[in-house]
Chains A and B, each alone.
Chain A
Amino acid sequence: SQQGEEDPQALSIQEGENATMNCSYKTSINNLQWYRQNSGRGLVHLILIRSNEREKHSGRLRVTLDTSKKSSSLLITASRAADTASYFCATWSGVDTSGTYKYIFGTGTRLKVLA
């Protein structure tokens, strides 16, 4: 499996509801970042959480990080139709078997917010 894996793969909710998506990773990290991608604006950075932080807020976004479980969650509160997008977590990996140190995105959660 990959360094970052999001769960669920797809999520469909009604406008106004909260959406929670999870990310698991494998190696030790300095920080973890969440991105959003939709057809209109491409890939956009949402929030960064450092390894010594447990929770971070930005507007309607709340991110948690549990380094003991190597997992993070992204909560979007009071969702809007405009939140419809794919959401990815991303981290810098440790050096892999090929000696490469690289930035790895998860497989993504496709969120659909119904009006």
Chain B
Amino acid sequence: DTGVSQDPRHKITKRGQNVTFRCDPISEHNRLYWYRQTLGQGPEFLTYFQNEAQLEKSRLLSDRFSAERPKGSFSTLEIQRTEQGDSAMYLCASSLGVQIYEQYFGPGTRLTVT
């Protein structure tokens, strides 16, 4: 068990560019979550998957944001036409199930949009 990994750890991009982040969950976990966190705030829920099915998607996840988990293993989060307001830490987590199971978080991808 190597924990949840995220790649890249840091991303600097220019406004208007597209970016894609990857998350590799703990192998036996069927739930995978994406959050966004800005300085001084708690993580904000974006979306979550059970296996390959996307079960919930927050309104925060605008049309510019999309997430996939094609084979029920790793997941990608894509942001199209980035804006400066997208600058944040993007966190991924995984769990064995929902509700009573704790979530294990990755180190995050810090996005800076210039």
Contact = CB atoms under 8 A, between A and B. Distances in A.
Interface of A: 4, 30-31, 33, 42-45, 48, 50, 88, 90, 92, 98, 100-108
Interface of A is mostly: strand
A31 B95 CA distance: 15
Nearest to A31: B100
9 contacts: A31-B100, A44-B105, A50-B100, A88-B42, A92-B98, A92-B99, A100-B56, A100-B59, A104-B45
B106 interface: yes
Given A103-B103, A105-B35, A107-B42, 17 more contacts: A30-B99, A30-B100, A31-B99, A42-B108, A43-B91, A45-B102, A48-B100, A48-B102, A90-B42, A92-B99, A98-B58, A98-B59, A100-B58, A101-B56, A102-B45, A105-B43, A108-B41
Interface residues of B, number: 25
Interface of B is mostly: loop
Nearest to B99: A30
B90 interface: no
Contacts of B42: 4, 88, 90, 105-108
Scoring A30, A42, A90 by chain B CB atoms within 10 A of each residue's CB, the highest score goes to A42
Interface in B52-107: 56-59, 91, 93, 98-100, 102-107
A42 B100 contact: no
Interface string B10-52: 0000000000000000000000010100001111110010000
A107 B102 contact: no
Contacts of A106: 42
Given A31-B99, A43-B91, A103 B45 contact: yes
Contacts of A98: 58-59
B101 to A, nearest CB: 9
Going nearest first, the 9 A-B pairs with the smallest beta carbon separation are: A105-B42, A45-B102, A43-B105, A102-B45, A105-B43, A88-B42, A98-B59, A103-B45, A108-B42
